[in-house]
Amino acid sequence: MDYTEIITEIYNEVRGIKERGKVADYIPALAEIDPSQLGIAVATADGNVFGIGDWQTKFSIQSISKVFTLAMVIRHIGDEIWQNVGREPSGNPFNSLIQLENECGKPRNPFINAGALAVTDRLMRLYERPKEDILCFIRQLADSEDIYFDKNVAISEIYHSSRNSALAYFMKSFGNIEGDVETLVDIYCNHCSITMTCGELARSFLFLANRGVNPFNGEEVLSVSMSKRLNALMLTCGFYDESGDFAFRVGLPGKSGVGGGIVAVIPGELSIAVWSPGLNRHGNSCLGIEVLERFTTRLQTSIF
């Protein structure tokens, strides 16, 4: 199937939309991004990629990286991670501190910041060279060597990481973080800073559309059951306190980041990445959701 026509149509429709939200400015380096950009890429399991607009421009994947780090951890320790992190939607903003005290320092799920920090803390102990290993993992999934940290974005976030450091120290006070918090926040901000294009991002999520197998080298990244679970977590928690609405409008497992990227998966068929830097009040790309809603509605395909 050729997806060029459908994504071109949708691109032409939505690029006229004026209400595009606001770029993330709490990470100063992200505030400088031109909000008029829009890219869409679809990757199919046979290795084809269809793209339109700014689909070959690199952008900061931010929280989308939390899916990669979780995959890296569960492929090693499986269910053990659920001792540190829950798997329920939080119904709160991604950087909220509120539930952590009542719930004794155990974050609701791996995609809110607290949960991702707890996952990265485990990752630090499982991998000898965490930063290099994260890049290597993503490069294999995307079948591209051209994937790097954006040092400018990483440093900008580290300088403004009081809230993430607070989350990490708070969890440490409950014994739910073992590593050194400064090192943890450094690794976390670096993995959030990774830049990818829509094309690379769509390719790198194909394993989740392919029962856990990387279609580029045939390697089993996750078992069928783990891949089901990761998709289930993306569906229920991938958009923070907008996860219900994303499921309602789009009907696919997916993950967003404050860089304006969203990637979603139709299991057994394809993955699709959209990038538009303007965010709504939940920190999710306004046009990204709009594109995906039109895509599944027009295709008449979702997981429902």
Take residue 100 and report the two structure tokens written for it. 């952590």
Q: Give the per-residue contact string, 17-56, with ligand GLN (x = CB under 6 A; - = no).
A: ----------------------------------------
Distance CA 303, CA 236 (A): 13
How many CB atoms lie under 10 A from the CB of residue 115? 27
Q: Which is nearer to ligand GLN, 192 or 222 (CB)?
A: 192
Of residues 44, 62, 227, 243, which one binds ligand GLN by CB under 6 A?
62
Of residues 40, 59, 63, 294, which one binds ligand GLN by CB under 6 A?
63
SS3 186: helix
Residue 42, strand partner residues: 50, 272
**Ramachandran area for residue 63 (φ above 0: left; ψ -120 to 50: alpha; else beta):** alpha
| Residue number with the smallest Cβ distance to ligand GLN | 63
Q: Which is nearer to ligand GLN, 81 or 192 (CB)?
A: 192
Distance CA 51, CA 268 (A): 20
- Which residue do the tokens 């939505």 mark? 14
Provide the minimum distance between the beta carbon of 303 and ligand GLN in the complex, in angstroms, as a whole number.
23
Q: Which is nearer to ligand GLN, 165 or 223 (CB)?
A: 165
Closest CA to 290 of 244, 229, 249: 249
For residue 215, what are the contacts with CB-CB under 8 A and spacing of at least 6?
45, 46, 47, 206, 207
Provide the minimum distance between the beta carbon of 55 and ligand GLN in the complex, in angstroms, as a whole number.
20
Does 94 help bind ligand GLN (rule: CB under 6 A)? yes
Provide the minimum distance between the beta carbon of 6 and ligand GLN in the complex, in angstroms, as a whole number.
27
Does 258 help bind ligand GLN (rule: CB under 6 A)? yes
Does 121 help bind ligand GLN (rule: CB under 6 A)? no
Of residues 69, 113, 214, 271, which one binds ligand GLN by CB under 6 A?
113
SS3 43: strand
Q: What does each C-alpha distance from 164 to 36, 169, 262 come to in angstroms?
A: 29, 9, 22
Q: Give the per-residue contact string, 270-299, with ligand GLN (x = CB under 6 A; - = no).
A: -------------x----------------
Provide the minimum distance between the beta carbon of 116 and ligand GLN in the complex, in angstroms, as a whole number.
8
Provide the minimum distance between the beta carbon of 46 and ligand GLN in the complex, in angstroms, as a whole number.
31
Take residue 27 and report the two structure tokens written for it. 């990470």
What are the residue numbers of the active site? 63, 66, 188, 240, 258
Does 95 help bind ligand GLN (rule: CB under 6 A)? yes
Residues 139-168 that bind ligand GLN (CB under 6 A): 157, 164
Distance CA 125, CA 226 (A): 21
Can you say how many angstroms the Cα of residue 230 is from the centroid of all Cα atoms in its chain?
12
For residue 154, what are the contacts with CB-CB under 8 A and spacing of at least 6?
186, 189, 190, 192, 193
Does 200 help bind ligand GLN (rule: CB under 6 A)? no
| Residues forming the site for ligand GLN (CB under 6 A) | 62-63, 94-95, 113, 157, 164, 192, 257-258, 283
